[in-house]
Amino acid sequence: MIAGRLVCTDGDATLELCADGFGARLVDATWAHAEAQASTETGDATVDGRGVVRALGVTATLAEARGASAAATSAAVVAVTLDDSHQVLVLGRREAAA
């Protein structure tokens, strides 16, 4: 997390993860490149190999997150990396129905 935003880097490019109920996309985040390379901050998120994700005050066990290696969070989105691919599982919180 840089400036409250989820960013990721492979060392060459730095991208911001933007996600909501309509989808997800990666946006260029060269503004955060140097800090992203030096950062180890993940927000308040954890995941274990059994698929148990703890973030945003919620604990959930997700079959899709089995084998996950890391998680990061911003105020409303959790990103979980999967060990067996380059995929990122993006989780969001929905407001309770009225």
- Angle (CA) 68-53-57 rounded to 5° is 155
Q: Is 85 a domain residue?
A: yes
Query: Domain total for the chain?
Result: 1
Q: Is 31 a domain residue?
A: yes
Q: Is 98 a domain residue?
A: no
Predicted confidence band at 61 (pLDDT cuts at 50, 70, 90)? Answer: very high
Question: Contact at 8 Å (CB) between 52 and 43?
Answer: no
Residue 4 pLDDT: 78
Other beta carbons less than 10 A from residue 85's beta carbon: 8
Range of the structural domain that residue 64 is part of: 7-92
How far the first Cα of the chain sits from its last, in Å, is 32
Residue 26 pLDDT: 86
